[in-house]
Amino acid sequence: MIAYYYGNKILVIARGRSIRKLGLMKELSSNTIRFKAWRFGLVWMLLALLALPMAGGNTPAASAATNDVTYFPITGHYMSGAFKNYWERNGGLSQFGYPLTEPFMQKSPTDSKIYVTQFFERAVFEYHPENAGTRYEVLLSLLGRNLTSGREGEKPFQRVSGSANTAARTYFSQTGHYMAYGFKNYWEANGGLAQFGYPITEEFTERNPADGKTYTVQYFERARFEFHPEFQGTKYEVLLGLLGWQQMNRLGVRQDVQAKQPAGKENFYTGSGTSGAPKVLPEFGGPAFPLKGPHIGYGMNVWLLGQDKDRVLGLVKNAGFSWVRQQVGWDVLEPSPGQYQWAELDSVVEAAQRHGIHLIFSVVRAPHWAGVNGTSGLPANPAVFGQLMQRMALRYQGRVDAYEVWNEQNIERETGGGRVEVRPYIETLKAGYQGVKASDPWAVVIYGGLSPTGINDPNYAVDDAVFLEQSYQYNNGEMRKYFDVLGVHPGNAANTPDELWPTNPPADKNRPWSTHASFYFRRVENLRAIMEKYGDANKQVWLTEFGWTTRNAAPGYEYGALVSEQQQANYLVGAFQRSKTQYPWMGVMSVWQLNFATFLSPADEKGPWGLIRGDWSTRPSYDALKAMPK
Nearby residues of 22 by Cβ (< 8 Å), 6 or more positions away? 10, 11, 12, 211, 230
SS3 content of the chain, % helix, strand, coil (to 5): 30, 20, 45
Going by pLDDT thresholds of 50, 70 and 90, the confidence category of residue 33 is very low
Instruction: Check whether 3 has a pLDDT greater than 90.
Output: no
pLDDT of residue 27: 28
What interhelical angle do 343-355 and 309-318 show, nearest 10?
30
| Class of the domain covering 297-627 | alpha beta
pLDDT tens digit sequence for 211-270: 899 999 999 999 999 999 999 988 889 999 999 999 999 888 999 999 999 999 888 887
Q: Is residue 425 over pLDDT 80?
A: yes
| Residues 75, 91, 124, 581, CA torsion sign | positive
Kindly give the residue spans of alpha helices, DSSP state H, lying in 341-449.
Answer: 343-355, 382-395, 412-415, 422-439
Q: In sequence order, which residues have a C-beta less than 8 Å from that of residue 28 and are 6 or more positions away?
A: 6, 7, 9
Q: Select the more confidently predicted residue: 42 or 356.
A: 356
pTM: 0.81
Q: pLDDT for 431-449, tens place per residue?
A: 999 999 999 999 999 999 9
Cα 333 to Cα 91, 239, 342, 374, 377, distances in angstroms: 52, 53, 7, 17, 15
Q: Quote the pLDDT of residue 64.
A: 47
pLDDT at 51 > cutoff 80: no
pLDDT at 68: 78
pLDDT band at 346 (very low <50, low <70, confident <90, very high): very high
Domain positions in the chain: 76-265+274-284, 297-627
Residue 504 clears pLDDT 60, i.e. is over it = yes
Write down the pLDDT at residue 62: 60
* Contact indicator for 113, 399 with CB cutoff of 8 Å: no
Per-residue confidence (pLDDT) for residue 295, from 0 to 100: 92
pLDDT of amino acid 61: 56
Is 90 exceeded by the pLDDT of residue 603? Answer: yes
Question: What residues contact residue 389 under an 8 Å CB cut-off, 6+ apart?
Answer: 363, 403, 405, 431, 432, 435, 436
> Which residues, in sequence order, are CB contacts of 84 under 8 Å at separation 6+?
68, 69, 70, 274, 278
d(CA 627, CA 539): 30
If one counts every other C-beta atom within 10 angstroms of the C-beta of residue 266, the result is: 17
The candidate with the shortest Cα–Cα distance to 391, out of 429, 423, 435, is 435
Q: Residue 69, by phi and psi: left (phi above 0), alpha (psi -120 to 50) or beta?
A: beta
Average confidence (pLDDT) over 363-371? 97
Q: Between helices 382-395 and 422-439, what is the axis angle to 10°?
A: 30
pLDDT at 128: 94
pLDDT band at 66 (very low <50, low <70, confident <90, very high): low
* Residue 36, CA distances (Å) to 45, 46, 121, 582 in order: 11, 8, 21, 42
- Per the CB < 8 A criterion, the answer to whether 423 and 474 are in contact is yes
pLDDT for the residue numbered 272: 67
CA distances from 306 to 222, 348, 597, 616 (A): 37, 9, 14, 16
